[in-house]
Structure 1
Amino acid sequence: MIFSVLFLALFTTAIGQSVVITTLPSLGREAGLSEIQVAIIMSSSAVMFAIGTNLWSRVARRKGYRRTLMIGLSGYSIGTLLFASMWYLGIHSILSGVGLFLALLISRTLQSSIMSATPPSAIGYAITNSAHTDRVKAISKVTSANNLGQVLGPTFAGALVGFGILTPLYSVIVLTVLAFFVVKRYLPKQISTVEQTTAEQPSEHSYVTVKPITAMLVVFSACVFCSMAMLQQTLGFFFMDEYGESTIAAAQSVGIAMMISAASSFAAQIGIIQRVRIRPEKLIQLALLLLAVAYLLCFLHQNTIVLYVAMVLLGSGLGMAYPSIAAIASSRCDPDKQAKVTGLITSTPALGYIAGPPISALLYSYDHRYPFLFACLLILVIFTLAFIKLRPHK
């Protein structure tokens, strides 16, 4: 029951994030915002999320994971309502220009500052309710909600956007409010976790004693998510500018593309990671090669069929890359550093989404396909490093 409740909490927030990513370019175009303004909103949100995750993890250890999880879910619900309402004012020309941009920026960063309490508190609760030898499995059970949310989120957005471009955002509020009450009703209360043993706390020097292999893997993972963020920032605008689609149709097309990618990622994790015996070093190299080919196809494609093939390769590569990077990072560190290393790896999506959208918006202003080309070149660089530096560990 505990893991099901935690799964639901992360699942609803993952759907919400997927909905925002799917609809944001169309919302920006509908409200008259530029690509760089949309990118700044996404990037600033990621910055606040990365900072908030670290801060809330400390609060959760002192005040309790259940209480902090409820704060995160309530903040997500209220923040989404505020964020969607600002878009409503912009679309109906009640707010416009700099005023609208600032209102959206402030509301989104405020939302991220509170909703960032959800992941560390859910994962922390899972860790404290599992044996030391089963912690990786416990974390996997909970965080797999992100994969499923990323599969269903774009579908959710594409299905509802036909009823109004803001309908998916408002609908997410219903899901997160439901998750809040499920957590409140079914998740057992916990005492403050300050009493944890010293072995479970990060040491004062753990922040600086990072092995070179760990630093390299963190860079790999951040680059993978930076490339993904660039694609997601670009895709909606690309459908509107290259294929002449309306804002509603573009949101639906992005939803289909991201659903294909997320489904392929989920299938790769279930069908390859868990069933095929390939060393994680080789999996990373294979995954990066798939990602490079996928972004190259995005750059060269002339019809949506080729683009959807690229999304299949993209999802498969992403599904293999992230778990393999996390596995190597956790297996090549000292046991007392495992929590710290896991924290570093899990922070890389936010790092990627800080850098990706602004780079993408800048390149998009020169050529609509340049973000795809840059992503391809970035992945090729880290593929080369992985091929040279990553060797099977005895």
Structure 2
Amino acid sequence: MTNLTLNEDETMLVDSARGFLDEASPVEKFRELRDAGKAYNPELWKQMADLGWTGVLVPEDQGGIDMGHAAANLLAQEMGKTLVSSPFISTAVMAATALRQVADNPRAAEALGKIASGDLTYALALDEGVKHAPNNTQMQAERVGNGFSLSGEKTFVVDGGSADRLLVLARTGDDDGALTLFDIPADRDGITRTAQNMIDARDSAQISFEGVEATGEDVVGTVDQAMSVLSPALRAGQAALAAEMTGLSSGAFGMTVSYLQERKQFGVLIGQFQALQHRAAHLWSDIEVATSTIANAGRMMDEDPENATLAVSLAKAKACQTAKLAVMEGVQMHGGIGMTDAFDMGFFMKRARVAQEWLGDYGYHAEQIAKIKGY
């Protein structure tokens, strides 16, 4: 049976992360970034790098701390509680996981070192439609001499507006599985990035590729076999995003309980109303269950990554349900002010809505679970 309790190192990591983020990045900081139109705070990102967080999945040989996916999920969960805006999942989780599959490549090893130091950020340019479906990629990478020419459109590229480099998925053959992953600079000729106005105010872009040149050195792994490198990265990102959503749920829950303990109606604290107590207890229980699925996904990713898909999809599906419940209850129990921009609860609701779609929504992961179970 998988051990879901935190070990000593993980407990210390959570405690230090919470203390740092409460001071350096409370929800008010997210509001400041939103109002200033900024994707994230580079100074905060550098501080996270100094703490070793950006290298949590980077091998020690490349300057990382290599604590594993369970630790990465714990960090993401703590970030979710105060809506920290950063390229952590795109860069420190997904890009790092993809590149470490080919860490024997000198260029990949160099990139991993720069991720760990906080000097390089990535975005994954995967999806082309309204839903997460990397296997349905239609973007073409035509062979030109010893290289490729990339043409097509990518949408909902999270962190795509500010990233230094892009991991781009493109079709390099007629077979369904003939997909190749490219690692290219975000400012290469032929690339046009258009910011998307997301309701959660995080960085997202639509990216157009028009005859973008790519060489054999830009290929991550092997031509026509992108999923051998990309699948572990997607599982890592999905688990970390589920953790962030569960942290978001905890943050919304804490804010709601505090309000129940302060707001009075008819001279009585509304937290004394039994109906609201029952709803708060139900939400707390749901968050605890979601937290367990996150812990299980992290352990599976570390101990048996080839068979972690079920655990990861279960975590993401459950996190979607829990986050939806947490923000709906939070908004409703706050009454009218819960819907106003002046109050922070709305930020949690918007972040949850976008996170539900990124890297596969509830329906996508429920389908993965059904397939694995033979339904």
TM-score, normalised with respect to structure 1: 0.33
Structure holding more helix per residue: 1
Structure holding more strand per residue: 2
Higher relative contact order (CA 8 A, sep 6+): 1
TM-score, normalised with respect to structure 2: 0.34
